[in-house]
Amino acid sequence: MAGSKASKHVVPLLMPRSYMSTESNKTGSWRFLRPRYDEKTAPCSTACPAGEDIARVEMLTAQGLFKEAWETILKENPFPAVCGRVCFHPCEGICNRGEFDAPVAIHVMERFLAETAVRYDLKPLLERCPAKKEKIAVVGAGPSGLSAACFLNRLGYVCDVFEAASEPGGILRWGIPEYRLPLSALRSEIAQIESEGVRIMTDKRLPADFIDRAGDSYDAVFIGCGHGRTTMLRIPGEDVDGVEDGLEFLNRIRSGETPAVDGVSAVIGGGNTAVDVARSIIRLGGKAVILYRRRRSDMPAFQEEVEMALEEGVELKELLAPAGIVKDRKGIFITMRPMKVVGEDEGGRGRVEPARGKTQQLLVQRVFKATGAESVDERYNPPDRRRNVLVLENGVLVDRPKGPAVFFGGDLVNETKSVTHAVASGKAAAIALDTLFRDGFKAVPGRAASCAVGNGKALSMEVYLGGERSSRNPHVVRFAEVNTDYFHFAPRITQPRLMREERLNTFKEINLKISATLAIREAERCFNCGVCNRCDNCYLFCPDLAVMREQDLTGRHVDYDYCKGCGLCVVECPRNAMTLEEEER
Amino acid sequence: MKRVLEGSHAVAEAVRLAKAQVISAYPITPQTHIVEILSDYCSSGKLKAKFLRVESEHSALASLIGAQSSGVRTFTATSSQGLALMHELLHWASGARLPIVMAEVNRALGPGWNIWVDQTDSLAQRDTGWMQFYCEDSQEVLDTTLQAYRLAEEVNLPAMVVLDAFFLSHTYEPVDIPDEKDVDRFLPPYAPKFQLDPANPCAFGQLVTPAFYMEMRHDIDRAMGLALTRFTEIEEEYARLFKRRYGVVEAVQCDDADVVFLTSGTVTSTCRLVLKTLREKGEKVGILKVKLFRPSPVEHIRAALRSAKKVAVIDRNCSFGVGGIFAQEVRAALCNQPGHPLVYSYIAGIGGRDVTPELLEDIYWKTRNSEAPEKDSIWTGLQEVAHGTQRA
């Protein structure tokens, strides 16, 4: 307390004044609620079969840390350049931003990051565990085999990959057209896997009894040879001359051939292979008609691909099932039976059965079968669940009393036959085999479950290795848990593309590159659900100055000596990276 | 130098001459012209002050409390709802003994939404420890603002310079703008008696127990008393430099008056005309203009009304359930004086309605010709309103 005097007059001026620091008042003792930093799980990362840490990837991208963002993807998926292009991005379907304006274009940025890495010839900083004695053979250098080898190699195992074809990549190399996945993008990622220490032996077609003989050299075998044979249509005439295998056709194009496609070709099927075949025919100067027994909306092919195919002149005939094929001098006659929708299957796809009405005839020059594929040898099909057979989300582990353990992955086991599911298989194999070798067969299911992203289906290698991500709360952040006051409406990036006219006679990649500026702008749209991006709202709003920033600004912590537990930090956290709990007394 | 100025701009000129260092305000009609021109001055460099744009009047005053605590001269302006929003901080400013100066343009409070003159907004803040000056014209606004700084900084109390919406704030009149050097002599740079200083950290305004709080409040009241005497002295000084003086009250021909109008603000000017007319008719009438409302010039009021038989108080305000606020003050000042005049309370001109010479003359005759007030508070000039009434 102090008074003061004016020069001429005495001014009554009793004022409270203190020279004591308020730090002596430990207001933390008033607290009955405790805020803490509690990073949670973003929905996108649970929907991604590879369990990529998308919220963090976007955060790093928005900060311009492209290499770190790229490395964050590589921890969970060695194929960002591939997946950024051909994955069906289920992450975007579940994106919380979709409830606000439009989902973040996650796949566009995944590709951008991979391309940036190539452009600047970046070398990722990835840890490799100490070398282990076990050796693993991988059958098939497709996405699942390469992923398995990549992850097992990082865990310290020696991996040999055996590939029947002249170049690794499997369906990515031989089955997906260049306009969707350029060779350079695939090759750079395979080169990266090889540079980490994986040996790939091409032109090495293994006999089917390899599994039984591998025990001499290997402790485990990963079977990821995929479905190499198109399934039979089971209709009369399907083996006549002019009826071709769609996958085989795509393979020929990617081998450098230019197959003749004059006249009209019919493509039977509704998946991506059917659409790829049809669009390739257009590019080779032919005409293509897709015959599909269900409706367009039921097609398993990506909607965008179907849309572009129609733009390019592919014709689509729905609700028609081929009933027979006859060849004569004019060409090939396909008899088609009209179908009708009679309800829906579990996935919401229309169920069809033959409808009454006349069959139709279609005259074409060629027919391509693209109705699905199957394994070329029975022995590559995984066994059913037994005592020594463990069925995981993306793979089947067989612990054999004699001989090496076997893991079946990729299209051989996956219900959804996608690249990213194949990557998931490879990762599941690495986690399962490592656990098998270290802790035994019984430990595998528990260990796999412990590194599931948000207690979902996807597994995280970073969590398995006890990285930063393993401290994340499995709680999946809902839209209502995001503080949208801190976000502005912003349009989703439009993917720049070749014009239709530019696409018609070339296999050049359709989707064009985007600039770093656009990538950052799009990444900034991400809510980063559950992940702290150091926006410092907590720091700014804390009325007690109890939010402390680490010297290097990498982290924040709460000073519980002074935190009164008002909860402002938690409410003002835009991305739900904090939690308020009742104080334990 | 004489210039034709809007009342609002007269305030701004005074703030410029006072060299306020931090200005913070939120726009509200009819105050906005004041800070508009000041923000111009700040951006052009004509006034070397920091202009803070804030999101509310509450923040405007809060930021000035911070600024003034660090030892600089400050200014804000507001009206009506804006002043009401500042209420909490009005108490804080006086309790913290910060000599902040504010221009308050009297405007009615909503609802019904009304931007016109009404004194209820500022009078409702009479107990916040702010000094209040009610001005009659633009020249008085300018002079009073400069005096307010001088007085506030001497006694460590905040001051409100009050002017009528539109009748004063938006009316152009010739105003004599004093020379900057002369103003500097009258109002030297702010010399704070206490201030925040990073070199010597301390906290102001923390917890005070019952053992000291009462003394602190007593000091505020004592400082108000000191302000009353100091204002007269400061006015003397001002008059020596600038030849203008207004007084805490102004008594116009009160000495022989039977009926005295008690007025404040622009109504006074209208009343001066009515006084002339009535005096010409031989009526013994006077005017007591009250300029200083807080601290209350009780002795001045008593002295001026010593010989009057009746006082007709014109209130452009209402404390609902009691009546005119100036009338309450006058009654309180007079009640212990033996043989004091009868107090007639007239409510007029609420929400910007014109107080015409005819109305004032009416009030005069009504007062003169009655034995005693018919009611404690009389609403004048009301229209018959047929609709909108409901049985209670």
Instruction: Please write the tens of the pLDDT for every residue from A310-350.
Output: 999 999 999 999 999 999 888 999 999 999 999 888 878 88
Flag whether A195 is in a domain. yes
Supply A487's token pair.
């976000």
Report the CATH number that the domain containing residue A572 is assigned in CATH.
3.30.70.20
Pick from A6, A11, A16: CB nearest B205:
A16
Q: How close B196 comes to chain A (CA, Å)?
A: 10
Percent of chain B whose predicted confidence (pLDDT) is above 90: 96
Flag whether A180 is in a domain. yes
Give me the pLDDT at residue A385, please. Answer: 81
- Work out the mean pLDDT of chain A and round it to a whole number: 93
Give me the pLDDT at residue A36, please. Answer: 95
Q: In B, which residues are within 8 Å of A24 by CB distance?
A: none
Q: How close A541 comes to chain B (CA, Å)?
A: 16
Flag whether A456 is in a domain. no
CB A70 within 8 A of CB A80: yes
The reply to whether A243 and A316 lie within a common domain is: yes
Give me the pLDDT at residue A20, please. Answer: 84
Cross-chain residue pair A16–B206, CB shorter than 8 Å: yes
Give me the pLDDT at residue B379, please. Answer: 97
Domains of chain B: 2-242 (3.40.50.970), 249-379 (3.40.50.920)
Is the preceding omega at residue B30 within 30 degrees of 0, hence cis? yes
Using CA coordinates, name the residue in chain B closest to A17: B204
Cross-chain residue pair A13–B208, CB shorter than 8 Å: no
Give me the pLDDT at residue B61, please. Answer: 98
The reply to whether A173 and A289 lie within a common domain is: no
Cross-chain residue pair A12–B226, CB shorter than 8 Å: yes
Residue A107, exposed/middle/buried by CB under 10 A (0-12, 13-18, 19+)?
A: buried
pLDDT digits (tens, 9 = 90+) for A282-299: 999 999 999 999 999 999
The reply to whether A438 and A510 lie within a common domain is: no
Give me the pLDDT at residue A24, please. Answer: 85
- SS3 state of residue A374: strand
Tell me the ipTM for this assembly. 0.83
Half-sphere exposure of A20 (CA within 13 A, CB side): 10
Flag whether A281 is in a domain. yes
Flag whether A15 is in a domain. no
**pLDDT mean over A548-570:** 89
Cross-chain residue pair B216–A14, CB shorter than 8 Å: yes
**pLDDT mean over B273-285:** 98
CB A238 within 8 A of CB A369: yes
Flag whether A495 is in a domain. yes
Of A56, A105, A110, nearest to A491 by C-alpha is A105
Flag whether A487 is in a domain. yes
Residue A571, exposed/middle/buried by CB under 10 A (0-12, 13-18, 19+)?
A: middle
Query: Which of A204-208, A368-372, A538-542, B179-183 is predicted least confidently?
Result: A204-208
Pick from A12, A15, A19: CB nearest B194:
A15
The reply to whether A244 and A172 lie within a common domain is: no
pLDDT digits (tens, 9 = 90+) for B339-370: 999 999 999 999 999 999 999 999 999 999 99
**pLDDT mean over B323-334:** 97
Of A273, A538, A212, nearest to A404 by C-alpha is A212
pLDDT-derived band of residue B389, with 50, 70 and 90 as boundaries? low
Q: Which of A371, A394, A426 is the last residue of a domain?
A: A371
The reply to whether A507 and A407 lie within a common domain is: no
Q: What pTM, to 2 d.p., does this model score?
A: 0.76
Give me the pLDDT at residue A379, please. Answer: 78
Give me the pLDDT at residue A554, please. Answer: 67
Total Cβ atoms within 10 A of residue A215: 14
Supply B372's token pair.
């005693």
Give me the pLDDT at residue A229, please. Answer: 81
The reply to whether A402 and A416 lie within a common domain is: yes
Give me the pLDDT at residue A5, please. Answer: 41
Report the CATH number that the domain containing residue A215 is assigned in CATH.
3.50.50.60
pLDDT-derived band of residue A378, with 50, 70 and 90 as boundaries? confident
Cross-chain residue pair A6–B215, CB shorter than 8 Å: no
Q: Which of B194, B200, B231 to mutate to test the interface with A (most CBs of A within 10 A)?
A: B194
Name the helix (H) or strand (E) containing B108.
none
Pick from B203, B219, B226: CB nearest A18:
B203
The answer on pLDDT for B210 being more than 70 is yes
Flag whether A463 is in a domain. no
Higher pLDDT, A300 or A347: A300
Letter string b/e over residues A489-525, b meaning 16 or more CB atoms within 10 A of that residue's CB: eeebbeeeebeeeebeeebebbbeebeeebbbebbbb
Give the type of residue at B222: R
The reply to whether A207 and A114 lie within a common domain is: no
Give the type of residue at B198: P
The answer on pLDDT for A503 being more than 90 is yes
The reply to whether A510 and A482 lie within a common domain is: yes
The answer on pLDDT for A237 being more than 50 is yes
Give me the pLDDT at residue A553, please. Answer: 61
Cross-chain residue pair B218–A12, CB shorter than 8 Å: yes
Supply A31's token pair.
């607290």
Residues 6+ apart with CB under 8 A from B48: B19, B21
- SS3 state of residue A136: strand
Q: Which of A371, A394, A429 is the last residue of a domain?
A: A371
The answer on pLDDT for A3 being more than 50 is no
Rounded distance, CA B206 to CA B209, Å? 10
pLDDT digits (tens, 9 = 90+) for B170-206: 999 999 999 999 999 999 999 999 999 999 999 898 8
Bridging pattern class, strands A243-245 and A366-369 = parallel
The reply to whether A401 and A294 lie within a common domain is: no
Query: Which of A51-55, A293-297, B64-68, B222-226 is predicted least confidently?
Result: A293-297
Rounded distance, CA A189 to CA A110, Å? 13
CB B54 within 8 A of CB B24: yes
Contact residues of A toward B, CB < 8 A: 1-2, 4, 6, 9, 11-19, 22
Sequential DSSP letters for A137-173? EEE--SHHHHHHHHHHHHTT-EEEEE-SSSSS-THHH
The reply to whether A302 and A427 lie within a common domain is: no
pLDDT-derived band of residue A207, with 50, 70 and 90 as boundaries? confident
How many domains are there within chain A? 4
Give me the pLDDT at residue A1, please. Answer: 39
Name the helix (H) or strand (E) containing B267.
helix B267-280
The reply to whether A163 and A268 lie within a common domain is: no
Give me the pLDDT at residue A233, please. Answer: 87
Rounded distance, CA A170 to CA A145, Å? 9
Q: Which of B98, B219, B220, B228 to mutate to test the interface with A (most CBs of A within 10 A)?
A: B219
Range of the domain at A363: 231-371
* Termini Cα distance of chain B: 60
Rounded distance, CA A54 to CA A91, Å? 9
**pLDDT mean over A494-500:** 93
Q: What angle do CA A107, A113, A115 make, to 5 degrees?
A: 105
The reply to whether A153 and A208 lie within a common domain is: yes
**pLDDT mean over A566-583:** 96
CB A190 within 8 A of CB A169: yes
Using CA coordinates, name the residue in chain A closest to B152: A11
- Work out the mean pLDDT of chain B and round it to a whole number: 96
Pick from A9, A15, A17: CB nearest B226:
A9
Q: Which of A337, A371, A405 is the last residue of a domain?
A: A371
Letter string b/e over residues B206-244, b meaning 16 or more CB atoms within 10 A of that residue's CB: eebeeeeeeebeebbebbbebbbebbeebbeebeeebee
